[in-house]
Structure 1
């Protein structure tokens, strides 16, 4: 390696996995400086996304370990297609956290009503805590239906946890008149100032309860409540809201199940959003008669997780998340990818291994 120009060495290092790079930090001071450089870490993540499938993280959300006398495990990770999962040791093993549905640059955001919130890189074990929001403090002793969103400002490269909740359903909890006059209240956490702040004006459209905000291409997305359901988008750079109407799949929703049912039995259709042109494309159709055989349940929407092997859909049963299935649209076939043998109910989400952290 000493015979190679150092820029060539960097190009080689960018293509290595995180576990190897963490070991290579001790080769020399120059290598350590390179591997800890933010620009290098971003390039390494880009190569990781282009060359491989995401890993699956299983975050414990319901503790049943006491039933069999085993220790609670906060996190496990597995490679898609592998039957083996590996435990990730964390400082909060005895505390159960809720998890944001979307990962971002290999970072996962965890939250709860009582302890502090956490952003964690499950690959490097780096983590950073941040305080509860006003919404969390006010709902800590009652039912909290809103769910935390987590994403990245693509322009500034900053990460932002976001709460969006209907003020009317909480009885106008905030004392600020400007916030009480809107249908929603929006709180954003700033890692630089280490404080939550309100976004004014928030969205004038109330949102459906119990839904997970979805992060796509620099924006978080919710579904609006009311006679017509639309997609509500929050740009994390400008911190402004926009409504995307006439989405082709928003013809029916089931409030009793607290989720959007994007299907016409026996098919569940998966749509892809072109965020630049605000257009939708149907990319998958799942035969729920077949998947009911895997899960032993009927008439519920599955949770899509990621596209693997370039064109296969990875999804799971939405309640316990203990089974993962892949669907090949070319062969119209289904394959069981993973079954959990652990008694702790875990929420699965996909992420790409990275070296990144929040400064």
Structure 2
């Protein structure tokens, strides 16, 4: 049964009480997800961003899913069809974290359609009250799992003084960190938070039990800040061989459970991988953006977003401005257009279908 597809297993719960009990067992669900990760490529969720326009719009839907290699996407019915959400770029065990303004956040399993709403954090409430200045400084949330306890944790880290949290006791440090606890259904502060300023408008990346951010450049250096979701401690794990700027020329990502960074250098995009043992960076891909432009008529002004390493070492990535999914074969230097979203501002995120939910 562990070898079966998660969607089929979700239906098979109605076969008998014994099947239902087995399929709902956390141990069974973990083993099934482990086999799924080993058996093939991830799926891609397409989430219509709030930047995509207002409703009603027949070309924009809240959530769609796509099997890599297929030109057809499937609409996933949701209770929030009349509203768009942003999505945290790090999926975890088949779960996605959706958020928007000071509305309730949502963690959703697109395979089983299970979802759970939870309240906004203090950062969301404060920035909504000061929404006229939100375009100046924006901090995005992260989502991951404590590898020891198995607890899932949404996290919001932000530079405290830049959003005027002087009336908050947690804002006496350089940054403020809020973590959501699903058992108490409440946000709490992590004290002490990081003493390193982080860059705004960046998606924290989840890898191997930790979330990662770029620090604000200090004396010309860009570093990577790590937050261990078990110990809830911060540390700078590596000095980066590249310099972050405000033009979105670099972006962080998770490829094959490795922390990676894509850096755009004129017509070339290089992807760096961090060796977790030696804390050193090495180049693993080099992408010719001129070929991408000639093939598909797009030329990104910022770094393309790597989504996953597929079978045969092919790379799946997308462009946020045009929303196409492109597959790059580094051996043949060829490109294939995998899918183009109807929504001009759809966010793409890879996930492995699972049966997991949070209660």
Taking structure 1 as the reference length, what is the TM-score of the superposition?
Answer: 0.90
Pairing partner for 2:203 from 208, 212, 216: 212
Q: Distance in 2 between matches of 1:264 and 1:208?
A: 20
1:349 aligned onto 2:349: yes
Structure 1 residues 246 and 72: CA distance shift in structure 2, 3 A: closer
Residue in 2 that maps onto 1:161 = 154
> Does the Cα contact within 8 Å between 2:48 and 2:343 map onto a contact in 1?
no
Q: Distance in 2 between matches of 1:203 and 1:80?
A: 38
Structure 1 residues 292 and 47: CA distance shift in structure 2, 3 A: same
- Which runs of 5 or more structure 2 residues have no equivalent in the other structure? 252-261
Q: Distance in 1 between matches of 2:340 and 2:239?
A: 38
Q: Distance in 2 between matches of 1:71 and 1:333?
A: 30
Deviation digits for residues 64-116 of structure 1, max 9, x if unmatched? 4758x527510010100111000000000111111101100000000111310
Deviation digits for residues 1-44 of structure 1, max 9, x if unmatched? xxxxxxxxxxxx00000121122222222111110100000000
Structure 1 residues 267 and 343: CA distance shift in structure 2, 3 A: closer
Residue in 2 that maps onto 1:57 = 45
Q: Secondary structure at the match of 1:82?
A: coil
Pairing partner for 2:165 from 167, 172, 181: 172
Stretch of structure 1 that moved more, 147-156 or 342-351: 342-351
Q: Distance in 2 between matches of 1:242 and 1:219?
A: 11
Taking structure 2 as the reference length, what is the TM-score of the superposition?
Answer: 0.90
Pairing partner for 1:226 from 188, 200, 217: 217
> Does the Cα contact within 8 Å between 1:55 and 1:350 map onto a contact in 2?
yes
Structure 1 residues 298 and 73: CA distance shift in structure 2, 3 A: closer
Size of the aligned set, in residue pairs, is 340
Alignment of 1:54-133 (within 5 A): 54-61=42-49, 62-64=51-53, 70=58, 72-133=60-121
> Does the Cα contact within 8 Å between 1:146 and 1:164 map onto a contact in 2?
yes
Q: Secondary structure at the match of 2:273?
A: strand
Residue in 2 that maps onto 1:7 = none
Structure 1 residues 343 and 97: CA distance shift in structure 2, 3 A: closer
1:269 aligned onto 2:270: yes
Structure 1 residues 72 and 299: CA distance shift in structure 2, 3 A: closer
1:14 aligned onto 2:14: no
Residue in 2 that maps onto 1:200 = 191
Structure number, greater radius of gyration: 1
Residue in 2 that maps onto 1:337 = 338
Shift of 1:193: 1.2
Q: Distance in 1 between matches of 2:356 and 2:273?
A: 27
> Does the Cα contact within 8 Å between 1:98 and 1:110 map onto a contact in 2?
yes
Q: Provide the alpha-carbon RMSD of the alignment.
A: 1.9
- Which runs of 5 or more structure 1 residues have no equivalent in the other structure? 1-12
> Does the Cα contact within 8 Å between 2:212 and 2:226 map onto a contact in 1?
yes
> Does the Cα contact within 8 Å between 2:43 and 2:66 map onto a contact in 1?
yes
> Does the Cα contact within 8 Å between 1:154 and 1:237 map onto a contact in 2?
yes
